[in-house]
Each structure stands twice: as structure tokens, then as C-alpha cells.
């Protein structure tokens, strides 16, 4: 009878160890998710600050950065649609800005 009690107790200990292992694995997953969310939060805060610095000139979004000559120019379509700050490129003839992400082209003047 004593042996049966010991076996049952060992069985319970093994069950508890398995449960503890599951909890530790879940904790590890949650910690990784928390780290990912913290990084995403930092990124979103940085983007929010950048968006607050934007000015729309009727064709493209502009951001003036202290210490930088000229403004950074961003695609209006990409920003309005997906909130992405995609820089536009000047075409070879110098008359247009083109977004390489969505292929939008707008006249500079």
C-alpha cells in the first residue's frame, strides 16, 4: 500500500513538472512577443514624430530636417494609402518626381 502511495505521488510530481515546463515555454513565448511589441512601439513612435513634421505642397509630402540642405520629398500616394514614407526620385529630365514603389509620377512645377 505504501508503494502505491509513492507511485501516485511520483506521478503527480511528473504531471506538475510537465505543467511547469509548459508554463515556462509559454512565458518564453510571451517575453519574445513583448520584445517584438516594444520594438514595434519604438518604430511607430518614431514614425509618428516624422509624420508630425510633414508638409504637403499639393504634389508631394516634404520634411525639413534641421542641418540638412533642402527638404526630403515623399510620395503622396504611398503615404495617403499605406502611411509609408517613400522618397521620390527626380526623373532624368528634371521635370518630374517618380516614386519607385508605386510608380506614381508628378510634375515638379
Q: Is 69 helix (H, G, I), strand (E, B) or coil?
A: coil
Distance CA 13, CA 84 (A): 54
pLDDT band at residue 97, thresholds of 50, 70 and 90? Answer: very high
- Report the C-alpha dihedral over residues 68, 73, 78, 80, rounded to 10 degrees: 90
Phi, psi of 53 (to 5 degrees): -95, 0
Which tens digit of pLDDT belongs to each residue from 48-84? Answer: 766 678 899 999 999 887 777 888 999 999 999 988 8
pLDDT, greater one: 68 or 99: 99
pTM score: 0.56
What local confidence, expressed as pLDDT, does residue 1 receive? Answer: 59
- Per-residue confidence at 91, pLDDT binned at 50, 70, 90? very high
Residue 49 confidence (pLDDT): 64
Please tell me whether residue 8 adopts helix, strand or coil conformation: helix
- Collect contacts of 23-32 with beta carbons under 8 A, ≥24 apart: none
pLDDT score for 67:
78
CB under 8 Å, gap of 24 or more: what pairs does 3-9 form?
none
Amino acid at each position: 500500500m505504501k508503494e502505491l502511495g509513492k507511485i501516485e505521488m511520483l506521478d503527480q510530481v511528473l504531471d506538475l513538472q510537465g505543467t511547469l515546463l509548459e508554463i515556462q515555454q509559454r512565458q518564453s513565448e510571451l517575453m519574445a512577443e513583448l520584445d517584438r511589441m516594444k520594438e514595434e512601439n519604438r518604430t511607430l513612435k518614431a514614425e509618428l514624430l516624422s509624420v508630425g513634421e510633414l508638409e504637403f505642397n499639393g504634389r508631394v509630402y516634404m520634411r525639413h530636417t534641421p542641418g540638412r540642405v533642402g527638404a526630403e520629398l515623399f510620395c503622396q500616394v504611398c503615404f495617403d494609402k499605406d502611411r509609408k514614407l517613400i522618397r521620390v526620385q527626380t526623373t532624368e529630365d528634371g521635370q518630374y518626381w517618380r516614386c519607385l514603389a508605386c510608380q506614381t509620377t508628378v510634375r515638379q512645377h
